[in-house]
Amino acid sequence: MVNPNKLRFICTRCGNCCTDRNTLVNVTYLDILQIIKGLKLDLTESLEIFGFNVFENSLTSTDLKKMVIPPVKTEKGLAFLALMKNDEGKCCFYDKAKKKCLIYELRPIFCKSFPFTFTLSHDKDKSSRESVEIRYTEKAKEYCPGIDNDSPLVDFNYLIDLAQTTLKELRDNRSYIELWNKEIKSKRISPSAKNFLRKIFEISED
């Protein structure tokens, strides 16, 4: 693990993280809620923005435990929710000409936390701030020029606050998806992508 006091980052606006073909821009249900409210989308429009990426291979319980965002049960199988991309791998909200995110203030938590990833340490009190481990993501090591040795050190308190916000959102999202998956299992609702989004719209109207 990199010492969190020595993590470096400045965004060079290269666009790699928004255009990499092999990077899924995962979204939590709270990201979806924020984007549909912020952009005033209707259900049809939201189906063009949020993609349900169905796993081709079956997942073991060990695979499922490792995932920070659990997959959603749909009529086509377990799926990861992510922002749509074009055929070249560009996120639907990336403006290539201006090199900028078109929904910067509304961008998903994974975009806000990139190039860092956060995990709770198991050997310390989970409620303690010091129990969070902070690293660069594997994707950042692969293609983010903003984390090289010439970049400025990142403020430690900023990182800890970001970690706390991210981990809380991921926990809330896990609970939300587990509830959805339970409802599907008990056949209380139909497992369509449209229904999944519809339920989030119902929250947005509360």
The DSSP symbol for 154 reads: P
Cα–Cα dist 179/126, whole Å: 24
Query: Does residue 136 touch ligand SF4 according to CB under 6 A?
Result: no
Give the chain's end-to-end CA distance (angstroms, integer).
43
Establish if 13 lies at the interface with ligand SF4 (CB under 6 A): yes
* Contact with ligand SF4 (CB under 6 A) among 2, 5, 14, 164: 14
| Percent composition of the chain: helix, strand, coil (DSSP 3-state, to 5) | 45, 15, 40
User: Which region, judged by CB under 6 A, interacts with ligand SF4, from 64-72, 107-115, 152-160, 190-198?
Assistant: 107-115
Q: How far is the CB of 189 from ligand SF4 (least distance, A)?
A: 28
Examine residue 12 and tell whether it contacts ligand SF4 (CB under 6 A): yes
The stretches of 73-118 forming alpha helices (DSSP H) are 109-113
Q: Which is nearer to ligand SF4, 73 or 85 (CB)?
A: 85
Rounded least distance, CB 98 to ligand SF4, Å: 11
Which residues make Cβ contacts (< 8 Å) with residue 159, sequence separation at least 6? 4, 7, 116, 134
Residues of this chain that bind ligand SF4 (CB under 6 A) = 11-18, 25, 83, 91, 93-94, 101, 103, 107-108, 111, 114-115, 143-146
